[in-house]
Structure 1
């Protein structure tokens, strides 16, 4: 499948890389098919932020990242009923992402820990969920990323 995206130009997506959100995502219920686009450094390593590109609305892509990169103890409690549509989830087949907000002032970059995206990597079914109130909608990450960058350079 070829898709002409706003951010990445024309891209070709293999059928086995299409992630299906049966209920769409929060705020975009009609966007049900996505793919993950991983940004890489010059040496081929993955960057912290990836893109969840809509195939239904090619102009729409969400920056996302693995929450464990910035909050190692992230472990929201979710009702199993909410994840039933994803099939049998195990530690090995579950991939969790959170959306990233990048404002004009980069020092105010944040992630939404209250609405994670859960993907079953075996069947490529996904859901965006709302978890308990103990996690913030805006979790500031600029200093965390800067500290990781400094430590990596040591």
Structure 2
């Protein structure tokens, strides 16, 4: 399948790379099919893109929670995740949505509404974590700067 993207141009995509979000994403409920793209030229970046296969302009920056909050463990009722199929440690993939404003020091991730994907069924959803200490705008600039410094030292 050939898809158009804003950031990566036209991409030939295998059907098995399409992730279906039955209810869409928050704010983008009409778009159900996505793929995950990586900038292979930027091997240092931890950010990937959740790219809509239906709307070229819709590409959401995402990051693994392990990069910014190692103890991240969202609580949600099992019923919410049932449509994804059986989740295991091997097929569960979690991403956080990244917001990158013009002032990079204000870059945040949304801990409150992670994206959950079953890699086996290629089904995903965006949930609202029940954890009261998880916020919508969790600043990651300092964390990312510290990680860069640590990698330079090692």
Which TM-score band applies after superposition, normalised by the shorter structure? Answer: over 0.9
Q: Number of aligned residue pairs: give it.
A: 152
Gaps of 5+ in 2: none
- The answer to whether structure 1 residue 139 and structure 2 residue 104 are counterparts is no
Structure having the larger proportion of residues in strand: 1
Q: Which residue of 2 aligns with 1:60?
A: 58
Name the counterpart of 2:4: 4
Name structure 1 gaps, 5 residues minimum. none
- How big is the alpha-carbon RMSD for the aligned residues of Structure 1 and Structure 2? 1.1
CA contact (8 A) 2:20 2:32 kept: yes
Q: How does 1:1-154 map to 2 (within 5 A)?
A: 1-41=1-41, 45=43, 47-132=45-130, 133-154=132-153
- Cα deviation for residue 103 of structure 1 reads 0.3
Distance 1:46 1:125, change over 3 A: farther
Q: Secondary structure at the match of 1:151?
A: helix
Q: Partners in 2 of 1:46 and 1:147 — Cα distance?
A: 14
TM-score norm. by structure 1 comes to: 0.95
Q: CA separation in 2, counterparts of 1:3 and 1:40? A: 18
